[in-house]
């Protein structure tokens, strides 16, 4: 066969070749006219062929043309076979080509090549791709802008939350810092009160030691000594209370410092987080500091859920506030303890001073009475000594009278002769005189002995009075002068309270 049917001349390719000229129609309109012409040509050719040779038409319709019908002048190549199949490109069995021949490819291959080259599918695909790409870019930028806007709002809300908690933490930090300072002031005040408490203790101890140096008659457990012992016991109780309170304050100070450290650490974290969020809010796509950060989408090792962050912030502030409130309560109780302890010590000191003053008054009165008694005793001793002198003189005078009466009797007894020695009235009178003188002397000697005995008793009493007066004077010196001087340095209630 050396010819092809009319309908197989690839009218599309021929029409598309004309597309390289300046077109007066749009491509869509030209394609529609071309399709209509092709359908009309195919229909007319089939009708003509069916009228002349229906068998050949059926054969042609069964076997498509190979392309040899359009090239009747071609001759076989060296091997005697004309082949334009794709296998000929690999086996080298295509027709020979010289400088005057262009029959390297068959017409069907040429038309196929032109069809592939002029196929508008890639252009249509490029238009579709361009539309899809632009739409995708618009959607992508829209989505990114929307996502960035939402994240900006989230970051701004997060920054507000962090700032709110930062303000709360800063307030709590200032409060706990002020509480630590106030508690430190109270601690120093308590230490000062403990140091001042050494003075009442030493005063009470000194007074007791001084009063232990009294003389034996005055070593009694009087009211002043009882009050001094009570004062010593009260000082010991107050010291133990202050010591326990100081331990509690030191423990609370450690708790406050730990809470202050935690809240300051949290404040630093919140400040850094807020600065980070503020930096993120100030960034945009035109910032100079943005760059790719590989691995930035991974959560950090210490990241935690939002609920834990809120719970941690709230718990940290609450713990700080609890420690501050407990410290404030402890300061209030400390003030009450110091004021109450100072008032108790001052009241006890007043009672002790009153007891000492009462003791001094009683001792002074007693000393005055003793001195009066001593003066009376001395006067009585002097009177008795004068009386003893008179009695002795009287006894001596009685000796002369006794000598006179006895001499007269002796003369009458010895010097009257014989019958003249009679018991007459003069002789009896002399005997009675001697008797009376003897009785009088005996009586005077008895009075003299009594006077001497009383005088000795008065002398002993004088010694006792002098000893008691000396003891009372020493007691007065201890209670009024030395104890009074020592107790004049007793601290006031405000000093005992630590002010």
Output the tens digit of pLDDT for each of the chain's 499 residues.
444 344 444 444 444 434 334 445 555 665 676 677 666 655 655 554 444 444 444 444 444 444 444 444 444 444 444 555 555 555 555 555 555 555 566 778 888 888 888 888 888 888 888 888 888 888 888 888 898 899 899 999 989 999 999 999 999 999 999 999 999 998 998 888 888 888 888 888 988 898 888 888 788 888 888 989 999 999 999 999 999 999 999 999 999 999 999 999 999 988 999 999 899 889 888 888 888 888 877 877 777 787 888 888 889 899 999 999 999 999 888 888 888 888 888 898 899 999 989 989 998 999 899 899 899 989 988 998 898 898 888 888 888 888 888 888 888 888 777 777 777 888 888 889 889 988 988 998 898 899 889 889 989 989 988 988 998 899 888 888 888 888 888 888 778 877 7
The tokens for 244 are 């326990």
Structural domain contains residue 219 = yes
Count of C-beta atoms within a 10 Å radius of residue 477? 14
Count of C-beta atoms within a 10 Å radius of residue 23? 11
Structural domain contains residue 144 = no
- Shared-domain flag, residues 473 and 390: yes
Structural domain contains residue 415 = no
Q: Which of 63, 91, 119 is the last residue of a domain?
A: 119
- Shared-domain flag, residues 213 and 104: no
- Shared-domain flag, residues 107 and 207: no
- Shared-domain flag, residues 440 and 307: yes
- Shared-domain flag, residues 466 and 356: yes
Report the domain count for the chain: 2
Spatial separation of the C-alpha atoms in residues 477 and 483, rounded to whole Å: 8
Q: Which of 74, 92, 119 is the last residue of a domain?
A: 119
Distance of CA 91 to the CA centre of its chain: 96
Backbone CA torsion sign across 292, 298, 301, 307: positive
Structural domain contains residue 125 = no
Q: How confident is the model at residue 247, as a pLDDT?
A: 93
Q: Are 271 and 278 in contact (CB under 8 A)?
A: no
Structural domain contains residue 148 = no
What is the number of residues in the chain? 499
- Shared-domain flag, residues 351 and 464: yes
Coil, strand or helix: which one is 433? helix
Closest CA relative to residue 173, chosen from 271, 253, 262, 273: 262
Whole-angstrom CA distances from 391 to 131, 159, 405, 449 are 164, 124, 21, 10
Structural domain contains residue 419 = no
Spatial separation of the C-alpha atoms in residues 216 and 106, rounded to whole Å: 158
- Shared-domain flag, residues 242 and 109: no
Spatial separation of the C-alpha atoms in residues 333 and 354, rounded to whole Å: 31
Q: Which helix (H) or strand (E) holds 454?
A: helix 425-476
Supply the range of the domain harboring residue 115.
6-119
Q: Which helix (H) or strand (E) holds 325?
A: helix 306-415
- Shared-domain flag, residues 111 and 164: no
Structural domain contains residue 142 = no
Q: Are 193 and 242 in contact (CB under 8 A)?
A: yes
Q: How confident is the model at residue 18, as a pLDDT?
A: 40
Q: Which of 56, 90, 119 is the last residue of a domain?
A: 119
Q: Are 248 and 330 in contact (CB under 8 A)?
A: yes
Running DSSP on this structure, what letter comes out for residue 68? G
- Shared-domain flag, residues 63 and 212: no
- Shared-domain flag, residues 163 and 114: no
* Interacting residues of 270 by C-beta distance below 8 A, sequence separation 6+: 162, 165, 166, 169
- Shared-domain flag, residues 180 and 88: no
Q: What pTM did the predictor assign? A: 0.60
Structural domain contains residue 124 = no
Whole-angstrom CA distances from 286 to 111, 131, 187, 281, 380 are 54, 28, 58, 13, 127
Spatial separation of the C-alpha atoms in residues 94 and 86, rounded to whole Å: 10
Q: Are 476 and 360 in contact (CB under 8 A)?
A: yes
Whole-angstrom CA distances from 199 to 235, 374, 495 are 10, 41, 11
- Shared-domain flag, residues 219 and 273: yes
* Interacting residues of 154 by C-beta distance below 8 A, sequence separation 6+: none
């Amino acid at each position: 066969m050396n010819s092809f049917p009319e309908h197989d001349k690839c009218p599309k390719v021929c029409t598309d070749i004309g597309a390289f000229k300046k077109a007066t129609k749009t491509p869509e309109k030209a394609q529609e006219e071309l399709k209509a012409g092709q359908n009309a040509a195919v229909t007319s050719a089939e009708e003509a062929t069916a009228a002349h040779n229906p068998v050949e038409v059926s054969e042609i319709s069964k076997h498509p043309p190979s392309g040899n019908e359009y090239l009747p002048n071609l001759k076989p190549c060296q091997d005697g076979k004309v082949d334009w199949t794709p296998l000929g490109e690999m086996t080298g069995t295509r027709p020979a080509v010289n400088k005057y021949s262009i029959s390297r490819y068959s017409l069907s291959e040429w038309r196929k090549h032109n069809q592939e080259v002029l196929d508008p599918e890639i252009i249509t695909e490029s238009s579709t791709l361009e539309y899809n790409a632009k739409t995708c870019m618009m959607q992508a930028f829209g989505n990114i802008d929307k996502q960035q806007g939402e994240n900006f709002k989230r970051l701004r809300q997060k920054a507000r939350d962090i700032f709110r908690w930062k303000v709360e933490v800063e307030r709590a930090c200032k409060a706990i810092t002020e509480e630590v300072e106030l508690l430190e002031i109270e601690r120093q005040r308590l230490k000062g009160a403990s140091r001042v408490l050494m003075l009442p203790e030493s005063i009470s101890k000194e007074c007791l030691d001084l009063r232990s140096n009294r003389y034996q008659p005055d070593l009694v457990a009087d009211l002043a000594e009882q009050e001094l012992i009570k004062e010593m016991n009260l000082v010991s109780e107050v010291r133990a209370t202050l010591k326990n309170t100081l331990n509690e304050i030191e423990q609370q100070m450690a708790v406050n410092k730990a809470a202050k450290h935690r809240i300051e650490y949290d404040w630093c974290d919140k400040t850094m987080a807020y600065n980070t969020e503020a930096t993120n809010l100030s960034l945009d796509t035109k910032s100079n500091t943005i760059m790719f950060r590989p691995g930035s989408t991974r959560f950090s090792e210490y990241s935690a859920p939002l609920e834990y962050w809120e719970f941690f912030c709230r718990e940290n502030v609450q713990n700080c506030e609890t420690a501050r409130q407990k410290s404030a309560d402890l300061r209030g109780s400390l003030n009450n303890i110091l004021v109450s302890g100072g008032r108790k010590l001052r009241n006890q000191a007043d009672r002790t001073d009153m007891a000492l003053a009462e003791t001094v008054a009683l001792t002074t009165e007693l000393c005055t009475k003793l001195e009066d008694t001593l003066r009376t005793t001395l006067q009585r001793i002097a009177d008795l000594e004068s009386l003893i002198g008179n009695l002795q003189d009287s006894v001596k005078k009685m000796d002369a009278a006794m000598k006179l009466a006895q001499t007269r009797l002796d003369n009458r007894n010895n010097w009257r002769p014989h019958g003249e020695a009679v018991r007459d009235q003069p002789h009896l009178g002399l005997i009675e005189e001697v008797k009376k003188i003897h009785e009088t002397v005996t009586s005077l000697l008895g009075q003299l002995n009594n006077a001497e005995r009383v005088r000795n008793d008065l002398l002993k009493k004088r010694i006792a009075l002098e000893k008691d007066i000396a003891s009372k004077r020493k007691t007065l010196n201890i209670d009024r002068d030395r104890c009074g001087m020592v107790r004049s340095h007793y601290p006031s209630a405000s000093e005992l309270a630590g002010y």
